[in-house]
Amino acid sequence: MITAQGKALTMLVTALQARGHLQTREFADMMGVFSVVVAEDDDLEGTILAAWAGIMKDSL
């Protein structure tokens, strides 16, 4: 389920990139940093966010 959500998020960010609103790599990098911050309070949430960032980076 986490992978499916990550792929759906990647599709959304890719559509935004295609329209010139956001770069997928930049968003994935921000998500990676955000995952570290979130992990300080909730390790599981941080891990999920990191997985989503990784899925986005793998799609590039």
What are the tens digits of pLDDT across the range 18-55?
999 999 999 999 999 999 999 999 999 999 999 999 99
Question: From CA 60, how far away is CA 32, in angstroms rounded?
Answer: 15
Question: From CA 2, how far away is CA 26, in angstroms rounded?
Answer: 21
Residue 21 DSSP one-character state: S
pLDDT at 14 over 90: yes
Note the helical H segments in 19-60. 24-39, 43-59
**Is the CB of residue 14 less than 8 Å from the CB of residue 60?**
no
pTM for the full predicted model: 0.88
